[in-house]
């Protein structure tokens, strides 16, 4: 039931990465709010809240197995660009980083014969596929509308209806 040192290391890193993801989305929401795009702002803030839930899920798994993770150092998010497309591409890049980290945890779990973490990881693997797909779809739509302000505003309006999924179950 206890976590091996190798599992402690990768899970601790993941907790930190999920907190970092929350901050990245918060920064992206601030930049979109500055562009007067309330729907995209709301979408990014919902993502930020979900990332906090993800950090809590990993934290609780560790605590349930006798290990208290410590959040590592996190640098202030640096996001370049000035257009919604830039910000969604930054979000996708960060989700890809999170996905790779989860795959690394899975590989470590296999090496350590840690079967207890697998249900949690399966949930997160599915979640990451969904996250990357959703953001890729938004990027595709933004690329299609290009500089058409009406098109960007239509996407903004649609994204504004999103609510954070903070009750996601890992089973």
User: In this predicted structure, what is the pLDDT of residue 171?
Assistant: 42
Q: 5-159, what's its fold?
A: Ferritin (1.20.1260)
Tell if the pTM clears 0.85, that is, is over it. yes
SS (H, E, C) the chain: CCCCHHHHHHHHHHHHHHHHHHHHHHHHHHHHHHCCCHHHHHHHHHHHHHHHHHHHHHHHHHHHCCCCCCCCCCCCCCCCCCCHHHHHHHHHHHHHHHHHHHHHHHHHHHHHCCCCCHHHHHHHHHHHHHHHHHHHHHHHHHHHHCCCHHHHHHHHHHHCCCCCCCCCCCC
User: In this predicted structure, what is the pLDDT of residue 80?
Assistant: 87
User: In this predicted structure, what is the pLDDT of residue 78?
Assistant: 87
Digit-by-digit pLDDT tens for the chain (171 residues) are: 689 999 999 999 999 999 999 999 999 999 999 999 999 999 999 999 999 999 999 999 999 999 999 999 999 998 888 999 999 999 999 999 999 999 999 999 999 999 999 999 999 999 999 999 999 999 999 999 998 999 999 999 999 986 666 555 544
Spatial distance between the Cα atoms of 57 and 15, rounded to a whole number of angstroms: 9
How far lies 86's CA from each of 27, 58, 89, 138, in Å?
Answer: 13, 29, 5, 11
User: In this predicted structure, what is the pLDDT of residue 166?
Assistant: 56
User: In this predicted structure, what is the pLDDT of residue 4?
Assistant: 96
User: In this predicted structure, what is the pLDDT of residue 156?
Assistant: 97
User: In this predicted structure, what is the pLDDT of residue 79?
Assistant: 86
Q: Which two tokens stand for residue 68?
A: 């208290």
Handedness of CA 5, 6, 8, 9 (dihedral sign): positive
């Amino acid at each position: 039931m206890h976590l091996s040192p190798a599992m402690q290391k990768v899970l601790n890193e993941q907790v930190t990465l999920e907190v970092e993801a929350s901050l990245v989305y918060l920064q992206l929401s601030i930049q979109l709010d500055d562009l007067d795009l309330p729907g995209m702002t709301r979408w990014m803030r919902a993502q930020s809240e979900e990332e906090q839930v993800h950090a809590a899920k990993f934290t609780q798994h560790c605590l349930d197995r006798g290990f208290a993770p410590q959040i590592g150092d996190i640098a202030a998010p640096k996001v370049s660009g000035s257009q919604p497309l830039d910000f969604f591409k930054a979000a996708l890049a960060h989700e890809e980083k999170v996905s790779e980290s989860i795959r690394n945890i899975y590989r470590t779990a296999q090496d350590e014969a840690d079967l207890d973490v697998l249900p949690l990881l399966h949930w997160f693997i599915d979640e990451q596929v969904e996250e990357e797909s959703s953001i890729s779809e938004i990027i595709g739509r933004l690329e299609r509308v290009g500089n058409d302000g009406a098109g960007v505003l239509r996407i903004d309006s649609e994204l504004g209806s999103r609510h954070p999924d903070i009750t996601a179950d890992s089973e």
